[in-house]
Amino acid sequence: MSFVEEVFETQFAPHLSLGDWSGRTETFRTALSLLEAEKREKTSIVETGTCRQPIEADFWTNGASTLIFDKYLEYHDGSCYSIDIDSQLQAQVRSQLSEKSTLICEDSILGLRELTASLERIDLLYLDSMDLCWIAPETSAVHHLKELAVSLALLRSGSLVLIDDSPRSEEWLPPWAANWSQPIWEIIPPEARLKWLSETVAGEALSRISSQQTTPDIVALREVLDRSTAALSSGDLSTSAELTEQLKETFLRCIPGTTTHPDYKPNARCPGKGLYACELLETLGEKIAHDYQVLYRIT
Ligand SMILES: C[S@@+](CC[C@H](N)C(=O)[O-])C[C@H]1O[C@@H](n2cnc3c(N)ncnc32)[C@H](O)[C@@H]1O
CATH code for the domain of 289:
3.40.50.150
Rounded mean pLDDT, 42-53: 93
Report which protein residue has its CA nearest ligand 1's atom 3: 49
Report which protein residue has its CA nearest ligand 1's atom 4: 51
Report which protein residue has its CA nearest ligand 1's atom 16: 130
Which residue from 51, 66, 85, 164 has its CB within 8 A of the most atoms of ligand 1, so it is best to mutate? 85
d(CA 128, CA 15): 19
Report which protein residue has its CA nearest ligand 1's atom 15: 130
Q: Is the CB of 83 under 6 A from ligand 1?
A: yes
**pLDDT of 86-142, one tens digit each?**
999 899 899 999 999 999 999 999 999 999 999 999 999 999 998 776 656 777 889
pLDDT score for 17:
81
**Which residues span the domain enclosing 275?**
3-171+267-298
Q: Does residue 282 sit in the same domain as residue 140?
A: yes
pLDDT score for 269:
45
Q: Does residue 48 sit in the same domain as residue 137?
A: yes
Q: Does residue 16 sit in the same domain as residue 140?
A: yes
Task: Calculate how far, in angstroms, residue 98's C-alpha sits from the geometric centre of ligand 1.
Answer: 20
pLDDT score for 185:
66
Q: Is the CB of 51 under 6 A from ligand 1?
A: yes
Report which protein residue has its CA nearest ligand 1's atom 12: 129
At 207, the pLDDT band (50, 70, 90 cuts) reads confident
Which residue from 131, 140, 164 has its CB within 8 A of the most atoms of ligand 1, so it is best to mutate? 131
Report which protein residue has its CA nearest ligand 1's atom 18: 107
Q: Does residue 81 sit in the same domain as residue 206?
A: no
pLDDT averaged over every residue in the chain: 86
At 182, the pLDDT band (50, 70, 90 cuts) reads very low
Is 130 contained in some domain? yes
pLDDT higher for 2 or 135?
Answer: 2
pLDDT at 7 over 70: yes
**pLDDT of 211-247, one tens digit each?**
766 777 788 989 999 999 999 999 988 899 999 989 8
Q: Does residue 154 sit in the same domain as residue 225?
A: no
For residue 89, the ligand 1 atom closest to its alpha carbon is 27
pLDDT higher for 222 or 261?
Answer: 222
Q: Does residue 34 sit in the same domain as residue 151?
A: yes
pLDDT score for 219:
87
For residue 52, the ligand 1 atom closest to its alpha carbon is 9
pLDDT score for 181:
47
d(CA 134, CA 202): 11
Is 261 contained in some domain? no
Sequence-separated contacts (24+) of 62-68 with Cβ below 8 Å: 63/16, 63/23, 63/24, 63/28, 63/128, 63/164, 64/12, 64/15, 64/16, 65/126, 65/128, 65/164, 66/93, 66/97, 66/101, 67/12, 67/93, 67/96, 67/97, 68/8, 68/12, 68/28, 68/32
Give the total number of structural domains in the chain: 2
Q: Is the CB of 33 under 6 A from ligand 1?
A: no
